[in-house]
Amino acid sequence: MSDKTALLLLQMGGPDSLDAVHPFLMNLFTDRDIIKIGPAFLQPFIARRIVNKRAPEVTEFYRQIGGKSPIRELTEAQGAGLQALLGDRFRSFVAMRYSRPTTIDALAAIKREGIKRVVALSLYPHYSKATTGSSVNELQRVMKEAKADFEVIYVDRFYNHPLYIKALAGKVMRGLQAFPDRNDVEIVFSAHSLPQSFIDEGDPYLAHIQETVRLVMEQVGEASHLLCFQSKASKVKWLEPSTEATIQRLAKEGKKNVLMVPLSFVSDHIETLYEIDIQYAEEAKAHGIKRFVRTESLNSDPIFLDCLADLVRTTVKA
């Protein structure tokens, strides 16, 4: 048995090829932790109809960003950086919720190395049952079915960690340097949306998002800013205002300079590379916004990796 501790990074995942788009979407739309479509026994059938309709369009989106999601490579790089900071007693593994390497793949790899202690580190800064909750449920389900005897410690949120805030604020301040006058810039925090019903039922996601914005702006200083939500995935009521509607409103108000801050994402993937960089950029230009800039994603930012390392050290000590 190894005396190492496994660092299990929990992330959403993404297709690693255009052929993988359809199965990725099926995994997503059949997960009742994130979206409930009709009765449970009917969800796979309804999901398949939805995915069959959406997959060609989504495949084209991925084609425009290089033919796949970069999230696996970016997450593995985060894991390697984190492992380097923590030292030889730790070994990094990745578990994607809707793509490979799956939770089963990751746990099998950990078992092969004889590691018993696992720090399950969610890469979703803001807790929601639809994201971290779903990944943790999957991890516990797989361990139960496999009768695995891992000792698991969970890190399920870090929306207010000082180093996370510092890293994010640093990206905002660097983004503002792309504009001649920061006082003439609208900072638009764009978080992944969530069904409003989740919040009504007590999910803390929105409160966590709002607290992150408040803390980041404390460091950025006086500047016009607002919060909106992207990536609505069904017809039910989701968090508002939407990012699309926000861009249109800012244009109508005569705003010419917009700095987009992807808030609930710690790695580049389709929501940043296509939705913001291509779709929203084109919409902004069409509505008369002259300068539309996105802050860099955290990816393997050294301050962000320090944040993750501190989370692990604190958790293991506890």
How far, in Å, CA of 168 to CA of 275, rounded? 20
Q: Do residues 303 and 112 make contact, with C-beta atoms less than 8 angstroms apart?
A: no
Report whether 212 contacts 259 (CB < 8 A). no
Rounded (10°) angle between helices 21-29 and 43-64: 140
Question: Residues marked as binding?
Answer: 192, 271
| DSSP-derived 3-state class of residue 219 | helix
d(CA 75, CA 263): 17
Beta strand extents in the chain (DSSP E only): 2-11, 90-96, 115-122, 151-155, 186-192, 225-230, 257-262, 291-294
Strands 186-192 and 225-230: parallel
Q: How far is CA 199 from the centre of its chain?
A: 18
- Measured over the CA atoms of residue 62, residue 282, residue 269 and residue 66, the dihedral's sign is positive
Vertex 247 angle, CA 246 and 253, to 5°: 90
- Is residue 186 helix, strand or coil? strand
Residues placed in the known binding site for Fe(2+): 192, 271
- The DSSP annotation for 234-262 comes to SSS-BSSSBHHHHHHHHHHTT--EEEEEE
Smallest CA-to-CA distance from 95 within 128, 118, 67 is with 118
In angstroms, the CA 296 to CA 266 distance is 10
